[in-house]
Amino acid sequence: MNKTKLKQIYTKIESYDKIIIIPHRRPDGDAIGTSFGLKDIIVTTWPNKTVHVVGESSDFTSFIGIPEELDDDAFKGALAIAVDTANKDRLADQRFDQADFLIKIDHHVDVQQYGDIAYVDTGRPAAALIILDLFLVNQDKLKMSKDGAKALYFGILTDTGRFKYDGVDGDTFRSVATLFDIGLEKKEIHAHLDQRTEELTRFKGYLLQHYKKTKNGVVYFKIKPRHLKKFSVSLEEASSLVNELGVFEEYPIWLLFAEYEEGIVRCRMRSKGPRIDLLANKYDGGGHKMASGASLGTWKRTKLLIEDADELAKQFKEGSL
């Protein structure tokens, strides 16, 4: 934790009356939780400031908040804060360069340096925890409501796999305890995360009957548009099942492919041991050592990624990594 830089970020936020928070495209729970948690801290501390969260929404994350659509004029003279995004191209609103000043707050491997102030802490398993660091370092000045605690807890819970993933340590729980002290009510959040439609349940059954395996330890499934139509599920819902493929003992890597807007094929990559972020970088992606994403463009390139992942799994099992 860099307390000096966190205090610099506080000072910069204090100096602006208009602030725009920008998460990444196709936001997950951490991106939205971080964004609305930070917004709550700012507006609770300074009620007269104007704070916007911009970008895309989804059924899963709308539980926490829905980003706004802004005119170009809104960025003039504003402080922009990019959260949970390693490279500029992934930011959900590319008008950040029209703002007066840009702060980057992230926990991914720093694949692209940007921002007038950049705070990157790869030791934090969720970006929402960095917002908690900002709050705790400046807790004599900052305030947070129960809504802010709810947003940050949602971000932390989803990005740590409910505290299962690597990077979770005692400091994680000590930070989260602060949210309970503020008045966090977690029952509603867990109920939301545990909820699943009948349609998605049926698709889960299909996925678990039709996944594929490689000889060296990769499990994968390709979500095709016909699957979404057949089971009446959204792409977001179907992709949320990625960790259902991670239950097999001898298979340290699992991949979930899907076709996104304009026919672009992407892959959610997960691992129990081999470092997959470097492999994701090879396919125009990135992320964490054990959880990354890749952009393949076409279905034909999925074969190449599967082969590379299989070789990585083989090297891991042989102990040559």
Does pLDDT of 262 surpass 80? no
Report the C-alpha gap between 33 and 157 in whole angstroms. 10
pLDDT single digits (tens) 192-234: 988 889 999 999 999 999 999 999 999 999 999 999 999 999 9
- Specify the domain boundaries for CATH 3.10.310.30 within the chain: 199-318
Q: What is the structure's pLDDT at 236?
A: 87
> What are the φ and ψ backbone dihedral angles of 293, each rounded to 5 degrees?
-140, 150
Burial 59-73 (b: 16+ CB within 10 A, else e): ebbebbbebeeeeee
Distances (CA, A) of 240 to 173, 234, 264, 273, 319: 25, 10, 18, 21, 31
What is the pLDDT at residue 55? 95
Inform me whether the pLDDT recorded for 261 exceeds 80: no
Helix extents (H) in the chain = 3-15, 29-45, 127-137, 146-159, 170-182, 187-194, 198-210, 225-231, 235-239, 277-282, 302-318
Numbered ranges of CATH 3.90.1640.10 in the chain:
3-193
Per-residue confidence (pLDDT) for residue 13, from 0 to 100: 98
Q: CATH: 3.90.1310.10, 3.10.310.30, 3.75.10.10, 3.40.50.720. Which one for 199-318? A: 3.10.310.30
pLDDT value at position 59?
A: 83
Distances (CA, A) of 207 to 79, 136, 215, 294: 44, 43, 19, 20
pLDDT the model gives residue 167: 86
Could you tell me if 237 and 200 are in contact, meaning their C-beta atoms sit under 8 angstroms apart? yes
Pairwise CA distance, residues 149 & 189, whole Å:
11
Strands 101-106 and 117-120: parallel
Four-residue CA torsion sign, 125, 41, 51, 190:
positive
Fold of 3-193: inorganic pyrophosphatase (n-terminal core) (3.90.1640)
Give the number of residues written for the chain: 321
Split at pLDDT 50, 70, 90, the class of 165 is: confident
Residue 160: is its pLDDT beyond 80? yes
Amino acid at 46: W
Q: Band the pLDDT of 108: cuts 50, 70, 90.
A: confident
SS (H, E, C) 75-87: HCCCEEEEECCCC
Can you read off the two tokens belonging to residue 263? 């026919």
Q: Is the pLDDT confidence value at 85 over 80?
A: yes
CA distance 295 to 277: 13
